[in-house]
Amino acid sequence: MKKMIHIALAALIMLASAITVSANRRCDGDWKQKMMSEKIAFLTVELGITPEEAQVFWPVYNQIDKERDEAMRKVFKAFKALEDATSAGKGEKEISKFLNEYLKALEAQGTVEQNAYKEYSKVLPVEKLAKLYVGEEKFRRQHIRRLHGGGGKPGQNK
Protein backbone atom coordinates (compact mmCIF):
# COMPACT_ATOMS: atom_id res chain seq x y z
CA MET A 1 0.00 0.00 0.00
CA LYS A 2 2.82 2.43 0.88
CA LYS A 3 4.53 1.61 -2.40
CA MET A 4 1.33 2.43 -4.29
CA ILE A 5 1.05 5.76 -2.46
CA HIS A 6 4.68 6.52 -3.28
CA ILE A 7 4.19 5.68 -6.96
CA ALA A 8 1.00 7.74 -7.09
CA LEU A 9 2.76 10.69 -5.43
CA ALA A 10 5.67 10.50 -7.89
CA ALA A 11 3.26 10.27 -10.83
CA LEU A 12 1.26 13.22 -9.50
CA ILE A 13 4.37 15.33 -9.08
CA MET A 14 5.57 14.45 -12.57
CA LEU A 15 2.14 15.25 -14.01
CA ALA A 16 2.01 18.56 -12.15
CA SER A 17 5.50 19.33 -13.40
CA ALA A 18 4.53 18.53 -16.98
CA ILE A 19 1.42 20.70 -16.73
CA THR A 20 3.39 23.55 -15.21
CA VAL A 21 6.08 23.28 -17.85
CA SER A 22 3.64 23.17 -20.76
CA ALA A 23 1.56 26.03 -19.34
CA ASN A 24 4.66 28.21 -18.95
CA ARG A 25 6.41 27.16 -22.15
CA ARG A 26 5.94 30.58 -23.77
CA CYS A 27 7.43 32.51 -20.84
CA ASP A 28 11.22 32.59 -20.87
CA GLY A 29 11.16 34.35 -17.49
CA ASP A 30 9.86 31.15 -15.94
CA TRP A 31 12.86 29.10 -17.05
CA LYS A 32 14.17 28.63 -13.51
CA GLN A 33 10.72 27.62 -12.25
CA LYS A 34 10.37 25.08 -15.05
CA MET A 35 13.77 23.62 -14.28
CA MET A 36 12.98 23.47 -10.57
CA SER A 37 9.70 21.64 -11.24
CA GLU A 38 11.55 19.09 -13.35
CA LYS A 39 14.23 18.77 -10.69
CA ILE A 40 11.68 18.14 -7.93
CA ALA A 41 9.99 15.42 -9.95
CA PHE A 42 13.33 13.87 -10.89
CA LEU A 43 14.70 13.89 -7.34
CA THR A 44 11.44 12.59 -5.85
CA VAL A 45 11.69 9.52 -8.05
CA GLU A 46 15.48 9.12 -7.64
CA LEU A 47 15.33 9.31 -3.85
CA GLY A 48 12.16 7.30 -3.48
CA ILE A 49 11.03 9.60 -0.70
CA THR A 50 7.79 8.86 1.07
CA PRO A 51 5.03 11.46 1.40
CA GLU A 52 5.98 11.88 5.06
CA GLU A 53 9.64 12.45 4.18
CA ALA A 54 8.63 14.85 1.40
CA GLN A 55 6.71 17.06 3.84
CA VAL A 56 9.85 17.52 5.92
CA PHE A 57 12.49 17.35 3.17
CA TRP A 58 11.28 19.84 0.54
CA PRO A 59 11.11 22.90 2.83
CA VAL A 60 14.69 22.16 3.95
CA TYR A 61 15.77 21.61 0.35
CA ASN A 62 14.17 24.86 -0.82
CA GLN A 63 15.88 26.86 1.93
CA ILE A 64 19.25 25.32 1.11
CA ASP A 65 18.66 25.97 -2.60
CA LYS A 66 18.19 29.68 -1.81
CA GLU A 67 21.41 29.69 0.21
CA ARG A 68 23.24 27.94 -2.64
CA ASP A 69 21.94 30.49 -5.15
CA GLU A 70 23.09 33.37 -2.98
CA ALA A 71 26.54 31.83 -2.47
CA MET A 72 26.85 31.20 -6.21
CA ARG A 73 25.88 34.80 -7.00
CA LYS A 74 28.62 36.01 -4.66
CA VAL A 75 31.15 33.73 -6.35
CA PHE A 76 30.13 35.02 -9.80
CA LYS A 77 30.27 38.63 -8.62
CA ALA A 78 33.71 38.16 -7.07
CA PHE A 79 34.96 36.36 -10.18
CA LYS A 80 33.68 39.16 -12.42
CA ALA A 81 35.48 41.75 -10.29
CA LEU A 82 38.69 39.69 -10.45
CA GLU A 83 38.33 39.23 -14.20
CA ASP A 84 37.73 42.96 -14.71
CA ALA A 85 40.74 43.85 -12.55
CA THR A 86 43.05 41.59 -14.52
CA SER A 87 41.67 42.77 -17.88
CA ALA A 88 42.02 46.42 -16.92
CA GLY A 89 45.65 45.94 -15.97
CA LYS A 90 45.12 46.92 -12.35
CA GLY A 91 48.05 46.85 -9.98
CA GLU A 92 49.21 43.82 -8.04
CA LYS A 93 47.74 45.10 -4.77
CA GLU A 94 44.27 45.62 -6.25
CA ILE A 95 44.30 42.30 -8.11
CA SER A 96 45.36 40.59 -4.88
CA LYS A 97 42.38 42.16 -3.11
CA PHE A 98 39.94 40.85 -5.73
CA LEU A 99 41.60 37.43 -5.72
CA ASN A 100 41.18 37.21 -1.94
CA GLU A 101 37.51 38.20 -2.24
CA TYR A 102 36.99 35.50 -4.86
CA LEU A 103 38.66 32.86 -2.68
CA LYS A 104 36.54 33.94 0.31
CA ALA A 105 33.39 33.59 -1.80
CA LEU A 106 34.45 30.08 -2.83
CA GLU A 107 35.12 29.22 0.81
CA ALA A 108 31.69 30.53 1.82
CA GLN A 109 30.14 28.40 -0.91
CA GLY A 110 31.88 25.36 0.58
CA THR A 111 30.50 26.25 4.00
CA VAL A 112 26.98 26.37 2.55
CA GLU A 113 27.51 22.85 1.18
CA GLN A 114 28.78 21.56 4.54
CA ASN A 115 25.77 23.08 6.30
CA ALA A 116 23.47 21.59 3.66
CA TYR A 117 24.80 18.13 4.45
CA LYS A 118 24.14 18.67 8.17
CA GLU A 119 20.59 19.86 7.54
CA TYR A 120 19.78 17.10 5.06
CA SER A 121 21.08 14.45 7.44
CA LYS A 122 18.49 15.60 9.99
CA VAL A 123 15.60 14.77 7.64
CA LEU A 124 16.88 11.94 5.41
CA PRO A 125 18.53 8.60 6.09
CA VAL A 126 22.11 8.37 4.83
CA GLU A 127 21.20 6.17 1.83
CA LYS A 128 18.67 8.72 0.57
CA LEU A 129 21.09 11.53 1.32
CA ALA A 130 23.67 9.86 -0.90
CA LYS A 131 21.00 9.38 -3.58
CA LEU A 132 20.22 13.10 -3.31
CA TYR A 133 23.77 14.12 -4.19
CA VAL A 134 23.97 11.53 -6.97
CA GLY A 135 20.54 12.56 -8.25
CA GLU A 136 21.43 16.26 -8.31
CA GLU A 137 24.53 15.50 -10.35
CA LYS A 138 22.58 13.23 -12.71
CA PHE A 139 20.00 15.97 -13.19
CA ARG A 140 22.70 18.57 -13.85
CA ARG A 141 24.42 16.36 -16.43
CA GLN A 142 21.10 15.51 -18.08
CA HIS A 143 20.35 19.20 -18.56
CA ILE A 144 23.83 19.96 -19.84
CA ARG A 145 23.42 17.20 -22.43
CA ARG A 146 20.03 18.62 -23.38
CA LEU A 147 21.45 22.07 -23.85
CA HIS A 148 24.45 20.82 -25.84
CA GLY A 149 22.19 18.63 -27.92
CA GLY A 150 20.15 21.61 -28.98
CA GLY A 151 17.25 20.70 -26.72
CA GLY A 152 16.96 24.26 -25.51
CA LYS A 153 15.60 25.29 -22.17
CA PRO A 154 14.07 22.78 -19.74
CA GLY A 155 10.50 22.01 -20.62
CA GLN A 156 11.02 22.49 -24.33
CA ASN A 157 10.96 19.54 -26.64
CA LYS A 158 13.01 19.38 -29.78
Q: Alpha-carbon distance 128 to 52, whole Å?
A: 14
Lowest mean pLDDT among 21-25, 68-72, 116-120: 21-25
Query: 97: buried, middle or exposed (CB in 10 Å: 19+, 13-18, 0-12)?
Result: middle
Domain spans of the chain, in order of start:
1-49+131-158, 54-123
What pTM was computed for the model?
Answer: 0.70
Task: Give residue-wise pLDDT tens across range 4-13.
Answer: 454 544 444 5
Q: Is the pLDDT of residue 153 over 80?
A: no
Distance from the first to the final alpha carbon of the chain: 38
Which of 120-124, 139-143, 147-151 shows the lowest per-residue confidence on average (mean pLDDT)? 147-151
Instruction: Return the amino acid letter for 43.
Output: L
Q: What is the DSSP string of 43-68?
A: HHHHHT--HHHHHHHHHHHHHHHHHH
